[in-house]
Amino acid sequence: MYNKQKEGIVMIKNYISVKMVKAEPCKAWKDFKGHMTGDEGYKIYYPDGYVSWCPKDIFEAQYLELEKEDTITQKDVCNFITSTSITGANHEIIETSCKNGFVITNFYNMGIGKENHERYIFAQIYNLLTFLLQCAKSGFKGNK
């Protein structure tokens, strides 16, 4: 996909966006691109004052609810983890799956113990979510 301009061809580039929004469950107040008035969804409040509506299934697939506005909590991390399993012929691999499909795989050391492995994985997920929160608050260039 591209746009042509007088000087030549401008390629459309890929971008990642992470933003912090406020939202509340809300029925659609008008018809939106195939969604009817009264459909379940969320009213979204953006930092610049813009307000929009999003269908429930799309919103819940794209946004992660946080317990607090300015920090990642233990509950946030626990809610982000969907499953943990120990696999391998000798139960030597521990895999933790997250809501977004990301899987963290670590070799399981019986000497360290399952609890220590779970703490390590918890800390990894906490750090990743804290990174995302900072990007949402400050952008990728830190100049928000």
Query: What gap in Å lies between CA 128 and CA 123, rounded to an integer?
Result: 9
Q: What is the pLDDT of residue 28?
A: 93
Mean pLDDT (the chain) is 87
How far apart, in whole angstroms, are the C-alpha atoms of residue 111 and residue 116?
Answer: 10
Res. 117 pLDDT band, cuts 50 70 90: confident
Span 49-101, pLDDT tens digits: 999 999 999 999 999 999 999 999 999 999 999 998 887 766 678 889 999 99
Query: Per residue, what are the HEC states of the chain?
Result: CEEEECCEEEECCCCCCCCCCEEEECCCCCCECCECCCCCEEEEECCCCCEEEEEHHHHHHHCCCCCCCCCCCHHHHHHHEEEEEEECCCCCEEEEEECCCCEEEEECCCCCCHHHHHHHHHHHHHHHHHHHHHHHHHCCCCCC
Bridge partners (DSSP) of residue 11 are 2
66 closest CA partner among 54, 56, 76: 76
Please identify which residue in the block is written with the tokens 């469950």. Answer: 25
Tokens at 103, concatenated = 């899987």
